[in-house]
Amino acid sequence: MDKVPTQPETTLLNAALEAALGLGLDAQLEHAQLKRGAAHADAVVRIGRGGKGQKYVAEIRRLLRPANLGATLHQLDRQAEAHALPGLVVADYINPDMAETLRKQGREFLDTAGNAYIQQPHVLVWATGRKPVLRAVTPQVGRAFQPTGLQVLFALLCHPEWVNLPYRELAARAGVAHGTVGWVMPDLQRQGFVADLDGKRGTRRLFDGERLLALWADAYARQLRPRTLLGRYYVPALEGWQEWPLDKSGAQWGGEPAGALLTNYLTPGELTMYADKLPGQLAARYRFAKEADVGHKAVVEVRHRFWHFPEDAVAGPCVPPVLVYADLLATGDARCMETAKRLYESHVARLVRQV
């Protein structure tokens, strides 16, 4: 399923290229969309000056926020690697804080207001603080990417074979009403992510798993993840977190601690756990406090476990790797994004590349 830019994306890209011209740059569209293997490039553009320039793979993003920055950059990196071109973030508006974050990471970007960071051997542009010129438009990617639909997608991304389960059973595992699956599946079929092979019942399968994951991770960060937070608490220290008896409280690690356990790469800066409710015994044992004080500075966030997988599908100290991956990207932190990339290759890619 080729990704053809929607009208709002086309309008955004054209406005951003026009803004680049206003900065004294040469800017033109090379390809409106491009696919190589599983990597879908939103566009390929050329930017430069005085007859010298550089081609870029562009990731077009509306409503770029810290929550979906990690997902955006990981998607861009995959495209850039596949097409052997540097990446360029193209957005409707990039505020000064986001601009500084991108610049520090060496990420080139351009928005419709003329905010930009372009670094080439013969060109250096660093412009920020310009006000947005386009009205922000919330991305519309179908009903399947609304909060309850995202829960169904989460179940399918973790277990692609569940796409052939009866709707009622899939709904129970995803933690949604039976009717939700009834409108998610047709929407996924309309978008080309689900189809019945040869039209035969029981042969349904997922398609374009890597792109589905990218869309899910972005929408999850913006729409579902904020709803899962049960509370943020403070503890005296994070040392020894690996020995916390989460299993006795029906909890599992997510985010940074799960990333650390699954990749052996990250030292957590804060702890994230998923549970049906605040694990009271853990809270008492490790002195959870609602306010930071002199003795309580380390952060523990407790999030609601929104899925209800069978017991054999939730074994172990960590939530499913798909969720760990998305949580790490949602932090927007460079070290967490690097961990997410490692986790993707070691635990997640095999799930989405088989569909």
**Tens-place pLDDT, residues 42-87:** 889 999 998 888 999 999 988 888 888 988 998 899 889 888 999 9
**How far apart, in whole angstroms, are the C-alpha atoms of residue 167 and residue 172?**
9
Confidence of residue 351 (pLDDT cuts 50, 70, 90): confident
pLDDT at residue 33, as a whole number: 63
pLDDT at residue 132, as a whole number: 84
Residues of the chain with pLDDT > 70, as a percent, come to 91
Are 282 and 223 contacting, i.e. CB atoms less than 8 angstroms apart? no
**pLDDT tens-digit series, residues 199-223:** 666 688 899 888 899 889 999 998 9
Mean pLDDT of 339-351: 92
Mean pLDDT of 37-45: 72
**How far apart, in whole angstroms, are the C-alpha atoms of residue 129 and residue 149?**
37
CA distances from 337 to 149, 320, 327, 351 (A): 25, 17, 10, 19
**H or E element that contains 132:** none
**pLDDT tens-digit series, residues 90-103:** 999 999 999 999 99
CA distances from 141 to 67, 169, 314 (A): 18, 25, 29
How does DSSP assign 17-51, residue by residue? HHHHHHTT-EEEEEES-EEETTEEESEEEEEEETT
Confidence of residue 276 (pLDDT cuts 50, 70, 90): very high
pLDDT at residue 34, as a whole number: 55
pLDDT at residue 312, as a whole number: 62
pLDDT at residue 37, as a whole number: 46
Collapsing DSSP to helix, strand or coil, 204 comes out as strand
**pLDDT tens-digit series, residues 323-334:** 999 999 999 888
Task: Report the 10 Å Cβ neighbour count for 317.
Answer: 16
**How far apart, in whole angstroms, are the C-alpha atoms of residue 161 and residue 105?**
38
pTM confidence score: 0.82
pLDDT at residue 257, as a whole number: 97
Mean pLDDT of 244-263: 94
Judged against a pLDDT cut of 50, whether residue 317 lies above it is answered with yes
